[in-house]
Structure 1
């Protein structure tokens, strides 16, 4: 099947596995969201390549190559450029959305790079690393 050159909100939501609300109330409110190129029914149409570029530049987080056997603290992971803050890691740990630390010494939580990479791979919006 050939990918359509133009997409409407429901198609964008399906293609990127998000809700239509996310497309209209979050992405489309961004200053760099592409301009409509037409209309289909009650929906504005957007160039598929422009939408793809927007998602790549503003939504997807680049995969970060972490050393699998190195221990990282939450601030270390933030500094490594994983795209989330140390505070988010701590909050997600409390809510059960981040793995338990591989090591806790002197009250400092530490995760192996492999543990953090696996947790990140399961989060929406992360590109998969090219390393095995």
Structure 2
């Protein structure tokens, strides 16, 4: 019988491209974090499949399905449930971390659904939407 794969904090961090600090101080504090299945050295071991399920369900966010040609304001995007606030969009725009608007008619910044989706996919912890 094949033993289930077990991971310790540094291996989890490497596998999911995060810092060990993120694993120990953020993820493992979550109520849904898996129960340790053993110990290796000074580290607790976790079942790799349990960790993967946790990351899929609680860390990686699915990018929302936005209508590709529709124009969205920052407030519209927040209301669509993209996981970031309108204020964050405006701050990131001013810092060059969010794309320039596709339309500025009437002094209001608007982005197409396509532009917003591409911007979200470039952010950490978002996956391409399978809907749409």
TM normalised by structure 1 equals: 0.90
Number of residue pairs the alignment of both structures matches:
130
> CA RMSD, aligned part only?
1.7
The alignment status of 1:53 with 2:50, answered yes or no, reads: no
SS at match of 1:77: helix
SS at match of 2:62: coil
**Aligned equivalent of 1:13:** 13
SS at match of 1:14: helix
Q: Which runs of 5+ in 2 are unaligned?
A: none
C-alpha distance in 2 between matches for 1:71 and 1:120: 15
1:51-85 CA-to-partner distances (Å, cap 9, x unmatched) read: 11211121111121111111000111111121111
**Aligned equivalent of 2:108:** 108
Q: Which runs of 5+ in 1 are unaligned?
A: none
TM-superposed deviation, 1:21: 0.9
TM normalised by structure 2 equals: 0.90
The ranges of structure 1 where at least 4 consecutive aligned residues each deviate by more than 2 angstroms after the TM superposition are 129-132
**Aligned equivalent of 2:62:** 62
C-alpha distance in 1 between matches for 2:60 and 2:72: 23
TM-superposed deviation, 1:35: 1.5
SS at match of 1:109: coil
Q: How does 1:1-132 map to 2 (within 5 A)?
A: 5-130=5-130
TM-superposed deviation, 1:131: 6.0
